[in-house]
Each structure stands twice: as C-alpha cells, then as structure tokens.
Amino acid sequence: MDQTTTLGLIAAAVIGLAAILLILRRQRKGQEDASMESPFGVSTEGEKRCPSCGMGNLVTEARCASCGAKLPG
C-alpha cells in the first residue's frame, strides 16, 4: 500500500470512531432526558392536582387523598 491509501484509511477510521462516539453521547443524553420525565400520568381529565404534593385527585374531592392538603376550586 502506498502512503496516500494508508492516510485515507486512517482518516476514515478516525471519522468512524468520532461518529460512534457522537451517536453514543446522543443516546446517553436521550436516556437522561427520559429519566427526568414527570412521574405523573399525562391525562388529567376529571382530576385536580394537589398544590402541595402533585397528586391527582377527583374533581369532587375537597382534600388531597395523599397529603390531606386543601384542593383549589
């Protein structure tokens, strides 16, 4: 092999390794973002959120079922 081919292979290997590292970094960041999601469900129809603890309660409730705080409304 001549010197140009060797340099080309080395450059391709470096670019490939850099691409792999960027992909792994992006996947790790995506996993971190997923772990920061809210533990509460998305649908809150028919519920009131407790201002103290965030627990979903029925609209008809006056006090939170979890912590006992007074619910708004």
Count the domains in the chain.
2
- For range 14-39, the mean pLDDT: 80
3-state secondary structure of 15: helix
30-68 confidence digits (pLDDT tens): 666 555 666 665 566 778 889 999 888 988 899 999 999
Between these two residues, 21 and 39, which has the higher pLDDT value? 21
73 and 49 fall within a common domain: yes
pLDDT, residue 20, reads: 95
Together in a domain, 1 and 31? yes
d(CA 62, CA 26): 45
Question: Angle at the Cα of 17 (from 11 to 19), degrees rounded to 5?
Answer: 100
Note down the domain range covering 54. 45-73
What is the amino acid identity at position 2? D
Same domain, 30 and 49: no
Same domain as 51, residue 31: no
CA angle centred on 30, ends 29 and 35, rounded to 5°: 95
- Structural domain contains residue 26: yes
Enter the pTM of the model.
Answer: 0.42
The answer to whether residue 40 is domain-embedded is: no
